[in-house]
A and B are shown apart, each in its own frame.
Chain A
Amino acid sequence: MDWLEITVDSLRGSVSLVAAAYALSSIGLNLQFGSAGLLNFGHVASMLVGAYGMAIVVDLGGPLLLGVLVGVAAAALLGWLWGITTLRLRADYLTVVTLSFGEILRFLIRSNWANPFTKSVYGIQRFADEFYDWNPIPDGDYGFEIASNPIRFSERQLWVMSVCWGLAILATLLFRSLMRSPWGRTVKAVREDEDAARSLGKNVYLYKQQALIIGSVIGALGGILLGIETQNVYPDFYIPLVTINAFAIVILGGAGSVWGPMAASIIYWFLFEWLDGVINSAMTEGYFGLLFEPADSGRIRTVLLGIGLVCLMVFRPQGLFGRRREVILGGT
């Protein structure tokens, strides 16, 4: 087993577009869940409407930028819909509704009658050429080698990665300013005790609604960039597992922490790739004998990541960047 090769490959994965897109998307979830305490289990739907909004507009002949705007507007609308349907009810309704909204949306775009717009199961391809036309980076291969193991990206990959990491940094800074402001203080108060916030004249509903919408829009940006990278959107990418990954990242980073999602996304995707590499070479080298087949490698990885997350909750419940004291005092 070539440990160095696996490790270098994983390093490459940890800064890739996937990591960047999840970082960006998780910042939105962090605002909803970490700051406002809203357990949104349908975060993937924000990414879906963002990506599909863009792809459909371009597919119908519109410019990419308009597509992005439509995707973002659709995500804002989605956040608002979540709010009006659930916020007047008990908190658990939000979880159920967001989860089912996501699945309903996925089945809708998959359905035959949506075919003229969404191309149902086949999805939409080649909608982001315009984005790559804007690429200022000259053609070439960029990167370096670690003991003759390359970490290299094409000018195309580098372009979309830079935009996505750049947006993630901007979103993080926005998150930080918002949460340091009196608006953020009120959002935290709403999370801590709605009635106390109300008794001090805060319109609890409005703050939750705003957190849902902003979080959904940031989530959509992540979805949009993932779409741009692959030039391909198809319904079965947007499964609940995407939300789970985003939650794993938020929790790993520390719910409510400022730089948590970005750092955690890097670490999470590093581990993901690394486990993948190790399991796959163990398979080909026959370490598992007859116990597992190559097709099981994805499952083994998921199980291991799950165990890791459980260990994290036990030994470091505040995540990497959260404050332990907050976890201890949280329940009081």
Chain B
Amino acid sequence: MAEALKSVPGRPGVAKPSPILVVEGVRRAFGGLVAVDVEHLEIQRSSVTALIGPNGSGKTTLFNLLCGFDSVDEGEWRIFPGSRGGGVQPGPEAEESKLGEVRLTGRQSYEIARLGMVRTFQLTKSLSLLSVLDNVLLAAKDQVGERLSRSLGRRWREIDERNRSAAMEILERFGLAHMSDEYAGALSGGQRKLLELARAVMARPSLLLLDEPLAGVNPALVESILEHLLKFPAEGMTVLFVEHSMDMVMSISDWVVCLEEGSVIAEGPPEVVASDPLVVDAYLGREE
């Protein structure tokens, strides 16, 4: 699918052949400060897209808005979690997705997650007093035992049993399998980042929003995580990630979007964006 981007010209707000997310006129101001003002943005399905921009350019705020953790002043956005493209399997909650398009504007954060858009946090949120394994099991979408009315039944045990092997497999991938019975609170900062990532993957989202997922993770491990990350699109997960390291952005992304002062100032293939004078300016600071 990333191939499809080859023919897309690199300019802000450009349409994509098969978008999974379409953002229109999303704006959020804090008092007088306009933190996000995105006119139009499309994220290509089954791609790995990087969201870059200087500190305070609105990347995290945009994630918060899109995922329902903050409310927009204006604008709307839609997700297309359906099965067009890279073999996406929408979770059971994403009933509406069969209709193709789901409007996310004004929805609660948990609904948005169930509809297939799952995010991680820049400041890691670990569930300290749950075991590492429970952290991951929590993300499973098909656990009926989470409903109070079914919590005393027997059915959930089978489901948990099945999910356990999937969860262990994911933990294995992220190098956390040996810690599975440990409290999440006992993990190091980098391990927590990985656990959050593992949790998000367990939720089998169709769109994964990662806010600096590998900040503080040791370089040797970063390599192997990036390899996994590159496989996500083939597994049906489109990735949008925030990252400050240009090396990493250049090496794994199919497409790069650059924010400055809340607006998209450039987007395109990594090499093109990296040499875009506006982007260089934004990063180095303008000289008047």
Contact = CB atoms under 8 A, between A and B. Distances in A.
Contact of A200 (B139, B156, B185): B139
Nearest to A196: B125
B interface, size bucket: 35 or more
B134 A330 contact: no
Interface in A168-201: 177-178, 181-186, 188-189, 191-193, 195-201
Contact of B128 (A185, A192, A199): A192
A96 B246 CA distance: 49
B151 A329 contact: no
B78 interface: no
B203 A185 contact: no
Contact of A181 (B69, B113, B121, B152): B152
Interface stretch (B26-34, B141-149, B226-234): B141-149
Nearest to B185: A329
B67 A326 contact: no
B114 interface: yes
Nearest to A198: B109
Given A195-B69, A199-B118, A201-B141, A188 B129 contact: yes
B59 interface: no
Given A181-B156, A203-B110, A332 B128 contact: yes
A188 B130 contact: yes
Contacts of A184: 151
A199 B183 CA distance: 20
A241 B2 CA distance: 65
A324 to B, nearest CB: 12
A204 interface: yes
Contact of A185 (B125, B134, B141): B134
Interface string A188-222: 11011101111111111000001000000000000
A186 B118 CA distance: 17
Contacts of B145: 181-183
A325 interface: yes
B138 A186 contact: yes
B113 A200 contact: yes
A199 B186 contact: no
A189 B186 CA distance: 16
A28 B148 CA distance: 16
Contact of A188 (B108, B127, B156): B127
Given A183-B147, A326-B183, A195 B127 contact: no
A185 B157 CA distance: 13
Contacts of A210: 148
Given A183-B145, A185-B130, A202-B110, 5 more contacts: A182-B151, A185-B134, A185-B146, A193-B125, A201-B110
Interface of B: 67-69, 93, 108-111, 113-114, 118-121, 125-130, 134, 137-139, 141, 143, 145-148, 151-152, 156, 160, 183, 185-186, 196, 199-200, 203
7 contacts: A181-B145, A183-B147, A184-B151, A200-B113, A200-B139, A201-B118, A201-B203
A-B complex: 6 closest residue pairs judged by Cβ atoms:
A329-B185, A183-B151, A182-B145, A201-B113, A196-B125, A181-B151
